[in-house]
Amino acid sequence: MKGLSENERVWIARDYLKCSGCRRCEIVCSLSHEGKIWPEASRIRVFMLIPGVEVPHLCVQCHDYPCLKVCPTKALSINKQTEAVIVDKEACVACGKCIDACPGKIPYIHPTENYALICDLCSGRPKCVEACAAGRWNALEIIKKSDTHTFKLYAKTPEIITRDIASQIYGKKWRETV
């Protein structure tokens, strides 16, 4: 947030190796969106398919928004200012087509309600990043979004990310694990 003016678009940069796995991001996200501590309803989810390989997983705002294109009920829209995907809870039928279309399989269905959960960037001031910065972990950081960069490259499944990170820190044999 520092250095960014109100009207600039933000993007959440993520560095998996710096993630401590404290789940403070899940705590503040669910508190802010659901009023409760509710990891399974957090719009950012930390996957721990292998202990020590903690992967914060959240929407990357692809330039071509494949999720939007497949939504049969037009429940998904783009916020003009933040460019985040906004889910219309009433219109969404939880069909899961957006999940299939997402290259990172990032959206998922709310555990008790009938709609998909996707990061809305907290209207430009993401709580998860604040929580991460407060602890000086900086696994999540705010950067200025740029049209010239392919943020979509970050839209990978947690399995793929886990394989990459695990083989990097634990050795090649861990590639086969997930």
Partner 1 sequence: MKGYAGKFLEVNLSSENVKETILDEEILSQYIGGRGLATKILWDKLGKNWERIEPLGSENLLLMLTGPLTGYVPGARLCVSGKSPQSNGVVGSTVGGEFSVELKCAGYDGIIFYGKAEKPVYLFIKDSEVELKPANHIWGKGSQETLKILVKECREELASRFPRRGLWKEPQIVYIGPAGEKRSRIAVVAAKWAHAAGYGGYGGVMGSKNLKAVVVKGTGPLPDVVDMKKVSTLINKILDINFRNIVFRRWGTGNLGHDVGSRISSEPVRNWQEEWHNEESYGSYEFEKYWVKRYWADFGCPTSCLKLAVIRSGPFEGAITDNPDYENQAYLGPNLGIFNAEENIYLTALIDELGLCGIQTGNVLGFAGELYEKGILTKQDLEGVELKWGDAKAFATLAQMIADRKGIGDILAEGTHRAALKISKLKGVDVSLYDVTEKGIAIGAHGIRSEEDYPGYESYACSVQAGDHTSVARIPLDHGNSELRSLLYDTGVFCWFNFFEKEAQDLLWPFIEAVTGWKITEKQWIETVGRKILHIQRALLLLGGPDMQWVPRKDDDVPLRWYIPLGAGPYKGKAVDRERLNRDRKEYYEAIGWDENGIPLPTELKRLGLKDVDRKLDEIRKPLPKY
What residue ranges bind partner 1 (CB under 8 A)?
17-18, 20-24, 27, 30-31, 34-41, 45-52, 94-96, 99, 105, 107-109, 111-112, 116, 134-137, 157-158, 169-171, 173, 177-178
Compute the distance between CA of residue 142 and CA of residue 13 in angstroms, rounded to an integer.
6
Q: Name the residue nearer to partner 1 (CB basis): 10 or 53.
A: 53
- Any idea how long the chain is? 178
Helices 127-134 + 24-34 axis angle, to 10: 140
Q: Name the residue nearer to partner 1 (CB basis): 2 or 136.
A: 136
Rounded to the nearest whole angstrom, what is the least distance from the CB of residue 18 to partner 1 in the complex?
Answer: 8
Rounded to the nearest whole angstrom, what is the least distance from the CB of residue 63 to partner 1 in the complex?
Answer: 22
Q: Name the residue nearer to partner 1 (CB basis): 47 or 151.
A: 47
Q: In angstroms, what CA-CA distances link 101 with 26, 40, 41, 105?
A: 24, 21, 21, 7
Rounded to the nearest whole angstrom, what is the least distance from the CB of residue 147 to partner 1 in the complex?
Answer: 29
Q: Name the residue nearer to partner 1 (CB basis): 145 or 170.
A: 170
Compute the distance between CA of residue 83 and CA of residue 85 in angstroms, rounded to an integer.
7
Q: Which residues contact 161 (CB under 8 A, 6 or more apart)?
A: 16, 47, 55, 57
Q: Name the residue nearer to partner 1 (CB basis): 70 or 95.
A: 95
Rounded to the nearest whole angstrom, what is the least distance from the CB of residue 39 to partner 1 in the complex?
Answer: 7
Rounded to the nearest whole angstrom, what is the least distance from the CB of residue 7 to partner 1 in the complex?
Answer: 29
Compute the distance between CA of residue 178 and CA of residue 163 in angstroms, rounded to an integer.
7
